[in-house]
Chains A and B, each alone.
Chain A
Amino acid sequence: MSTMDPRTTVINERLKRINRIIAVSSGKGGVGKSLVATTLALELAQRGCKVGLFDLDFTSPSTHLIMGVKDAQPKEDKGIVPPVVKGLAYMSLIQFSGDHAAPLRGTDISNALIELLAVTQWGELDFLVLDMPPGISDAVLDLVRLVKRIEFLIVTTPSRLAFETVKKQVRLLQELKVPIIGVVENMKMNRAKNIEQETEKLGVKFLAGIPYDLKVEEAIGDVAKLGDTAIAQRVRKVAANNIAQ
């Protein structure tokens, strides 16, 4: 036999007590993906669900900043047990790399991802929300390959630049037969319906339009304030009507 990386064989065993695994993704960066992922996880937890949040945007993690996480280290018990942060089982590479920049190439990202999937003991969860890196990168392809029950929720803005990349991502996921829960349009400046219509043309559900909200920036780091933003209000409805129903 040739040499073998044993880690991939236990990934689905580690995830087997998780009911649904939702990857929050985007075609481009800067569209509010991490905010949507974090608020989705928090809103599902608010509804009484057991929820995990896994920040997979390894080179630019931000969910810890959004939630104001100061120090939350995982514990070791036959693997790594995520700490509970704001009611969520929480994992981020930041717990290992601290404030240092982690300049990772594609193969390094794949390796770190496989390592964390193989050793993290999530236990029983209703939902695991993944904050994905933007685009169709190695992490997306690895997750689709390794996590059998993954579903995607895609975030865009009204910009055609953002939506064009979403189209590519949707086509790829459709080709790979990966379920797409729907598309969320963030930072809406008006009531234009073009993204909603374009999304439906792709055969994908349009979940919500989120108005641009100046309060979001000052809510960064404060989960209570975040709950009053337009993002949380719309994501709350998505959680109730399209995910936890």
Chain B
Amino acid sequence: MHEWALAEAVITAAQQIAEKEKLREIREVDIKIGELQQVERDIFRFALSQLKPASFKNAKFRISTAKTTLKCRVCEHIWLFSKSKLDEDTAEAIHFVPEVAHAYIKCPKCGSPDFEISEGRGVWLENIKGVR
């Protein structure tokens, strides 16, 4: 249920933006989730629905998934993260703290653990729309 903490962060951030942009009512919230963190969408969506304040009553939460691109800093090989290659404990550790991927994943070409998570790490707030 770690998704609740992330959903709370999204709601808090969206509220801060709404306040800054003087939005009275929020209509759309676009969220991007990186595959690396393996967020359970159903729990995350449910948490958002439970945590949203009154100004988000009619808000539509659009959640899209971003593929995770990893780039080796040694040989510059670029590859996509795949959960299917991980055992359950490793997948769970990466779910909690995506950076521990560096402890378990290595460049498939040269074997280095020194890679960059170029895209698709965790949860991002992409956009919010509302009325003033």
Contact = CB atoms under 8 A, between A and B. Distances in A.
Interface of A: 1, 3-7, 9-10, 13, 74, 76-80, 93, 96-98, 100-105, 108-109, 111-112, 115-116, 118-119, 121
Nearest to A99: B103
Contact of A80 (B8, B17, B96, B117): B96
Given A79-B2, A119-B5, A1 B103 contact: no
Interface in B1-21: 1-2, 4-6, 8-10, 12-14, 16-17, 21
Contacts of A79: 1-2, 4-5
**Which of under 10, 10 to 19, 20 to 34, or 35 or more describes the interface residues of B?**
35 or more
Specify the main secondary structure of chain B where it touches its partner.
Answer: helix
A102 B21 contact: no
A48 B130 CA distance: 50
A98 B103 contact: yes
Contacts, number: 108
A13 B12 contact: yes
Nearest to B73: A105
Given A9-B13, A97-B93, A103-B113, A112 B100 contact: yes
B5 A104 contact: no
B103 A10 contact: no
Nearest to B16: A9
A64 B98 CA distance: 21
A171 B16 CA distance: 34
B27 interface: no
B128 interface: yes
Contacts of B21: 1
Interface stretch (B55-63, B75-83, B118-126): B118-126
B12 A108 contact: no
16 contacts: A3-B32, A3-B127, A4-B17, A6-B12, A6-B14, A9-B16, A78-B5, A79-B2, A79-B4, A93-B97, A96-B97, A101-B103, A101-B113, A112-B100, A118-B6, A119-B6
Contacts of A7: 6, 9, 122-123
Nearest to B17: A1
